[in-house]
Chains A and B, each alone.
Chain A
Amino acid sequence: MARIELINLNKSFGAVQAVRNLNFTIEDGEFVVFVGPSGCGKTTTLRMIAGFEDPNSGEIRIDGRVVNDLEPRDRDIGMVFQSHALFPHKNVAQNIEFGLRMKKVSPEERVKRVREVAEMMRISHLLDKMPGQCSGGESQRVALARTLVTNPSTFLLDEPLSSLDAKLRRELRAECDRLHQELKRTFIFVTHDQEEAMTLADRIVVMRDGEIVQVGSPMEIYADPVNYFVADFFGSPSMNLVPGEFVRTGDGLRFRSASFDIALPARFETVSPGKGTLGIRPEHVRIDPGAEDCVHLTVRLIEPLGKDTLLYFDVPGDRAFVAVREGLHMTDVRIGQPMAINLDAHCIHLFDGEGRRIAVPRVA
């Protein structure tokens, strides 16, 4: 059982405020992912939960009990580090056994539990090896096993997969998911990789500059980003964000930029005119010459990904405008070819001058 409450947490390193007035509760058994660009305070938050950093002010409670004053070892947590942090001078079995030894578990019991955990993590064949002899993926499995064996109520994972290559990362991601299903413990996972966050989390906490920007399920975050930053951060390829202006005309509100001039759906009727940004995910860009109110853009680059093909269009500014087409439709498109595109009206996001989403009730 572990319900973790973070109350008004503040932490600064010298002049840098790493975490600012953070309030958040992690429910028991939940898989929460803290995500954000580097320097956003996510790792500091995790390290405060672990007890490696003391907050300047604020409270951390585990199951209602204030733990600010507890040593990390007394908090009933396990932690997996980015560098896996295995003890290089101990073999794999001794590494796994360490936590049990610290808890004064009897030798017979230790052997038994080490064997069980090794089986569970499929590393039985490594037990006699030194960490230096293990590959990156194996090391991370050992690190997980070393944490598992002590059976903590909460697992803290600090970018555990970011030092691995893409294939191993997917494999271990599935492993983390499986462990969470089986153990039903609280998992707090820190990453800068939005894909990891999307696939693993029950709830995602998006952080930026020491503050929480948005909390929600992966789908909520994806479909309803609260601001420009979140919209941009999640999704691959990321959302098309076109700076421009909202203009009121005779037949309703329109969005205008150097290359766009489109009518906005009726649900945005209350939006006040002025500078802003239009956002649309690439999968919601339709290539449809027949549609009314379409925009003509020139293809700059075609990127076949196998299942899909990405089309990059020329627009002014430093980012391209991207559309996704299913399949490998390369024969009918050429670079330099102008195309008519049309935006799915249900899926348009608008952000005001400060980057905040302009919240309008969704049309069903």
Chain B
Amino acid sequence: MTAVTLPTTGGSVRASARTVSRQRAIRRFKLVLMTPLIALFLGLLTPVLLLQLYFSFHEWTVYLGSWWDAEFVGFDMFANVFTDPRFGWAIVRSLAFAAGSTIGCFLFGFLLAYLMYRPFRGQAIYYIIFILPMLTVPVVVAYTAEMLLYRNGPINDLISVLTGTNFQVAWLSNPHLALATVALLEIWNWTPFSFIILLAGLAAIPKEPIEAAEILGASKWQIFWHVQLPLLRPVILLALILRFLEAMAEFPKTWALFQGGPGTATETLPIYIFITTWQYFQISKGAAMSYVVMVMMVGIVLFAIHMLRREKRSLDVMYGTAAGNLE
């Protein structure tokens, strides 16, 4: 180091030239770390979102010549979307599907986690079996479901044998049942998710408060209700929120198994957007619909994030990772 700054006066100090350069070095370092993210945002995400905005206001289908010559139609596309009853029903189906499967995953996952969070013989084996559904590719789940659920298929057969009745449910062709079938598949597929998260949460609860409650004479139920459940709240919310959002986006199983059918019975938002765009080739309507869904989802996600941020803090306390302890 050759640059030696010798200030003439001792007391008052301003940022010297070197300070600025050190700070600049840190800034440059930060910028380099950020570069890939910035590049992806500017190069990929922003153009795509702008393009979508363009299509929402310009009518274009693949039959209408070059897309950059498309006619400006103002809010016509949005009007079209909002007056389309199929879109309304798609929203209803999506919400029902997401809510139902989320609750299902949570209940089963919680039951299993509660039965398993303390060590017992065979715990490891059960754990491995329980997470297998999550490790099955969703498309595979769909096709395996088809092999299992046809009218004379093994599931109906097994239920018939076990109940001694002639159980013949049309899981795949009954329009009143189709969405429930997908929801059941979603529950089968993702209960492991709720299970592992809640298991980790239960296992992370410190033993001392529970033991203290036991000594004070609390029953198992009281301990669960007054000690474990409040401590587990952030984990429960996390499991519910993440599962709900994933379920809103569910596409592969529904599409591979039903393509929205029978009729429109499984036409959830992702499916309807897909059909509009890739089967009817109404790119602009699809874009407008996408924008509406995106705004709706951003709303839901912002609310979810608000909840997550609050709960994340309790989680950090729970896992003892309070940041920035000075001295």
- CA distance in complex: A69, B18 (Å): 5
Within 6-25 of B, Cβ neighbours of A (below 8 Å) are at 6-7, 10-13, 15-22, 25
CB-defined contacts of B6 to chain A, threshold 8 Å: 64-66
Are B11 and A65 in contact, with the CB atoms below 8 A?
A: no
CB-defined contacts of B5 to chain A, threshold 8 Å: 65-66, 69
**Tally of B interface residues using CB under 8 Å:** 20
Are B7 and A38 in contact, with the CB atoms below 8 A?
A: no
CB-defined contacts of A58 to chain B, threshold 8 Å: 13
- CA distance in complex: A70, B18 (Å): 7
CB-defined contacts of B1 to chain A, threshold 8 Å: 70, 74
Q: Give min CB distance, A268 to chain B, whole Å.
A: 39
Q: Is B326 an interface residue (CB 8 A)?
A: yes
Are B327 and A7 in contact, with the CB atoms below 8 A?
A: no
Q: Is B4 an interface residue (CB 8 A)?
A: yes
- CA distance in complex: A57, B25 (Å): 20
CB-defined contacts of B17 to chain A, threshold 8 Å: 69
Are B11 and A7 in contact, with the CB atoms below 8 A?
A: yes
Are A71 and B22 in contact, with the CB atoms below 8 A?
A: yes
Q: Give min CB distance, A3 to chain B, whole Å.
A: 14
Are B327 and A8 in contact, with the CB atoms below 8 A?
A: no
- CA distance in complex: A65, B20 (Å): 17
Known: A68-B19, A69-B22, A74-B1. A8 touches B326 (CB 8 A): no
Are A7 and B10 in contact, with the CB atoms below 8 A?
A: yes
CB-defined contacts of A39 to chain B, threshold 8 Å: 327
- CA distance in complex: A69, B21 (Å): 8
- CA distance in complex: A126, B267 (Å): 68
Known: A65-B5, A65-B6. A8 touches B11 (CB 8 A): yes
CB-defined contacts of A41 to chain B, threshold 8 Å: 327
Pick from B12, B16, B326: contact of A13, CB under 8 Å:
B326
Interface residues in chain A, defined as those with a beta carbon under 8 Å from any beta carbon in chain B: 7-8, 13, 16, 18, 38-39, 41, 43-44, 57-59, 64-66, 68-71, 74
Q: A57-B13, A59-B10, A69-B16 are in contact. List 13 more A-B contacts (CB 8 A).
A: A7-B11, A38-B327, A39-B327, A44-B326, A64-B6, A65-B5, A66-B7, A66-B13, A66-B16, A66-B18, A69-B22, A70-B22, A71-B25
Interface residues in chain B, defined as those with a beta carbon under 8 Å from any beta carbon in chain A: 1, 4-7, 10-13, 15-22, 25, 326-327
Can you spell out 23 A-B residue pairs with CB atoms less than 8 angstroms apart?
Answer: A7-B10, A7-B11, A7-B13, A8-B12, A8-B13, A18-B327, A38-B327, A39-B327, A41-B327, A43-B326, A43-B327, A57-B13, A58-B13, A59-B10, A65-B4, A66-B13, A68-B13, A68-B18, A68-B19, A69-B16, A69-B18, A69-B22, A70-B18
